[in-house]
Amino acid sequence: MKALDELTFDNRFARLGDAFSTHVLPEPIDEPRLVVASEAAMALLDLDPAVAETPVFAELFGGHKLWAEAEPRAMIYSGHQFGSYNPQLGDGRGLLLGEVYNQAGEHWDLHLKGAGQTPYSRMGDGRAVLRSSIREFLASEALHALGIPSSRALCVIGSTTPVWREKQERAAMVLRLAPSHVRFGHFEYFYYTKKPEQQKQLAEHVLSLHFPECLEQPEPYLAMFREIVERNAELIAKWQAYGFCHGVMNTDNMSILGITFDFGPFAFLDDFDAQFICNHSDDQGRYSFSNQVPIGQWNLSALAQALTPFISVEALRETLGLYLPLFQAHYLDLMRRRLGFTTAEDDDQKLVERLLQLMQNSGVDYTLFFRRLGDESAALAVARLRDDFVDLKGFDAWADLYKARVEREANGSEELRRERMHAVNPLYILRNYLAQNAIQAAELGDYSEVRRLHEVLTKPFEEQVGMEQYAQRPPDWGKHLEISCSS
């Protein structure tokens, strides 16, 4: 394991030059202190977990100190926000401190969010507040534990620095990790500003470092785009299968790697609601839960437009056509597994759709339904879950089809079925009210609840002794929390 001063830097994105990013030093926050750290994320950098409790850890990730080899840069990009093109966005409160590679040869961006003003802050103060930093930390690590591709979060550092949002709050910084922080909006920026040389330089950078296998294909850029389409189809299938709503699927928030990226007013579904909108600023419901699927395709189309200098329109259109079938295949496979099936039948999609409609009409808790469905035999489970539904006749009809479907599986014992289902159906998810409870305690200086919640969410599929309160349906107040982009 390494100490903090033993990290090995290789700042590949910084070497692209000033056309791609601007050198900016982080602005330190006052009296930095550790709120929470992820041992699993620290392991990605080969860091000894004990260093998180040292003063230098808070100083480094609170903007007070910097490695000599670090080259902090604010990245420039543009993007479509709620469908409208914004010509220049960029890191308004984040800095790419540098790239570190570990003993396994993996490169990880160190990206400090809340690091102060940059040339792209657009009248903002460049700060992040404690609540948004905690939410991003918890979400990053919780999604990873669920098997959903995501940026990672190393730590949250709190402070006494005051910042103003709707009210006075405290500034914080979150250190996030990803193999790359390049977004769809990076390509859009150089396309729309008509800078073909930089556009090609960026494309070659991404291709060689992040999609090297595509270099062996006859058309490397087309192969890269196909891989991006495939990754996003699978990512959004996992969002939909696990009830995750991102909230701000602007193209500047879409990772070129197909990972969940830039956490704002996200939410996991409590009661199933296909029309759920987690961002209270989203008046039209553009980024509602069910709309995430077509918006994923829309965003890929925006990226395709930016790649027209390298790939024919016909080839781009054909590749985009793969998105929906790939999404449907991944989604149905996940939902089959969530229902305990190990084989495929033609009517499985209808069975899933009918169940979701019944859940929608009855306000059934999305996560707990699937977990409880695997607690015991299919017959006993549906009998126990029946009382959650308003349309009893409709549920009974579905339950008969489900029990018959399970019988046709004939794949092992009830115990094996339970193990299979519990391995894909979490007991614990990051519900908004749980995050809010942890945030309220942290704002009063008590970080124990953030740390406890983080620990529970790192093992979402395992029943944890004494943690029953994290596996409950939310109270009424917890179902209707309005989350904004403000951070």
Detail the residues annotated as belonging to a binding site. Answer: 90, 92-93, 113, 125-126, 176, 183, 253, 262
> CA-to-CA distance for 146 and 458, rounded, in angstroms?
8
- The one-character DSSP state at 431 is -
Which tokens hold the place of 198? 């930089």
- Site of tokens 């299919």: 378
Angle, in degrees to the nearest 10, between helices 313-320 and 292-306 = 160
Of 5, 22, 92, the residue nearest 56 (C-alpha): 5
Annotated binding residues for ATP, written as ranges, equal 90, 92-93, 113, 125-126, 176, 183, 262
Read out DSSP for 306-370? HTTTTS-HHHHHHHHTTHHHHHHHHHHHHHHHHTT-SS--TTHHHHHHHHHHHHHHHT-BHHHHH
Check if 252 is active-site.
Answer: yes
Catalytic residue among 91, 252, 270, 282: 252
> CA-to-CA distance for 307 and 317, rounded, in angstroms?
12
Reading phi first (left if > 0) and then psi (alpha if -120 to 50, else beta), residue 156 is in: beta
> CA-to-CA distance for 249 and 163, rounded, in angstroms?
26
Cβ neighbours of residue 145 under 8 Å, at least 6 residues apart? 457, 458, 459, 460
Count Cβ atoms within 10 A of the Cβ of residue 22 and give its class: 0-12 exposed, 13-18 middle, 19 or more buried.
Answer: middle
The answer to whether 141 and 456 are in contact (CB under 8 A) is no
> CA-to-CA distance for 90 and 75, rounded, in angstroms?
6
> CA-to-CA distance for 359 and 379, rounded, in angstroms?
18
Which tokens hold the place of 81? 């926000």
Report the 10 Å Cβ neighbour count for 168: 9
Cβ neighbours of residue 190 under 8 Å, at least 6 residues apart? 196, 198, 199, 202, 306
- The one-character DSSP state at 84 is E
Enumerate the active-site residues: 252
